[in-house]
Amino acid sequence: MIPSRTGDDDFDDLFRATFEPMVRSLALACGDREAAADAVQDAFIRAYARWRRIGAYDDPAGWVRHVALNRLRDHFRKAERGRRAVERLGGREAIATVPAPADPSDVLVHVGELPQQQRIAVSLFYVEQLSVIEIATSMGLSEGAVKYHLHAGREHLRASLESP
Amino acid sequence: MSPDDLGFDPFDDRLGNELRAVAPSAPKADQALGELRPRFARARQRRRAAVAGAWGLAGAGALALGLVFVGSGATNRIDTPPASQPDRGTTTTPKNDVPTSTDPTAVVPGTDPDGTTVTTDDHGGNQGSGADEPDSDNGDGGSGSGSGGDDD
């Protein structure tokens, strides 16, 4: 956990320490690097504007990650609405695509098969290497819920990756 | 990686290594920080303006509320005269301005001038039981049922 202070230098330290791993883990969770980078940048901008308050938190990085996750959810909710609207207008057959056969050894494909909460929990745990408590803070869930999502996601990935 | 109490095994190390290897790359933090500086500054300015506006609005609201209270206090005031005024005297009027008869010869209905009680014979029409006139013989006995009230 990054120690919290309230000066601009401290904000820069937090940004340098957490920006890259945060973008990578959220990009893995959502499958869209640009959307993840935009969400994390927006979250840092909001944190900078309120830094006197946010910097005094125990875990300002957790606040930034939480805001970024909310932004990502909004982004994909809007994208989903747009996709459904296009489907309604054009018909399902017109935009249906045949998915490429998945490589059974491709871990990205199997991560993409996980439900959203499991994807996020797995990404934050394995890529950003956060503790369960930090993940719970970032996702706005209880520790028990995070452990459940981690366990379910890991078992799914184990079954997929270890199957012949 | 903190195993917590999730029961991790070597598979988790392998999974973590694979996920970190395939996770998309991110822009360099220093480069991103430099590009974001103008947006940071604008966001802080907007935030300060919004906070100042909110405080100004709250102050104006409080002022307006205060003025309303002051105004309502002035209109609801009751003016009372001083407790003692030299030109205002106290007048009393006699209470017995209703004439009452004090004639000793006046007969109050139902009383004899000599003080005895007079009863009029109702020939048994009275609802009484006849106890006041034990020797009454023109009624229908002491029953006082009222049925003989029209004997006259």
Q: When comparing pLDDT for A123 and B136, which is higher?
A: A123
Contacts of B5 in chain A (CB under 8 A): 147
Q: Is A92 left (phi over 0), alpha (psi -120 to 50) or beta?
A: alpha
Among residues A69, A96, A123, the one where a domain terminates is A96
Distance in angstroms (rounded) separating the CA atoms of residues A70 and A62:
12
Which tens digits make up the pLDDT trace of B19-32?
998 888 888 899 99
Judge if A90 and A112 occupy the same domain.
no
Can you give the CATH number for the domain in which A144 is found?
1.10.10.10
Judge if A91 and A19 occupy the same domain.
yes
Residue recorded with tokens 């002491």: B142
Is residue B10 scored above 60 in pLDDT?
A: yes
Are residues B110 and B117 in contact, defined by beta-carbon separation less than 8 angstroms? Answer: yes
Extract the tokens encoding B69: 């209270």
Distance in angstroms (rounded) separating the CA atoms of residues B147 and A63:
103
Judge if A54 and A132 occupy the same domain.
no
Extract the tokens encoding B136: 């009454």
Residue of A nearest to B22 (CA): A108
Nearest-by-Cβ selection for A19 from B2, B23, B32: B32
Average pLDDT over every residue of A124-131: 93
Distance in angstroms (rounded) separating the CA atoms of residues A54 and B39:
18
Is residue B142 scored above 50 in pLDDT?
A: no
Extract the tokens encoding B89: 């005297």
**pLDDT, mean over chain B:** 68
Q: Is B117 helix (H, G, I), strand (E, B) or coil?
A: strand
Is residue A72 scored above 80 in pLDDT?
A: yes
Judge if A54 and A116 occupy the same domain.
no
Q: When comparing pLDDT for B123 and B62, which is higher?
A: B62
Q: When comparing pLDDT for B98 and A129, which is higher?
A: A129
Distance in angstroms (rounded) separating the CA atoms of residues A149 and A117:
7
Domain count, chain A: 2
Q: Which residues of A touch B (CB under 8 A)?
A: 12, 15-17, 19-25, 27-28, 33, 36-37, 41, 44-46, 48-50, 107-108, 111, 122-123, 125-127, 129, 131-132, 147, 150-151, 154, 157-158, 161-162
Whole-number percent of chain A with pLDDT over 70: 87
Extract the tokens encoding A144: 């028990």
Among residues A65, A96, A127, the one where a domain terminates is A96
Domain containing residue A45: 1-96
Bridge partners, B117 (sequence order): B111
Judge if A43 and A121 occupy the same domain.
no
Q: When comparing pLDDT for B54 and A8, which is higher?
A: B54
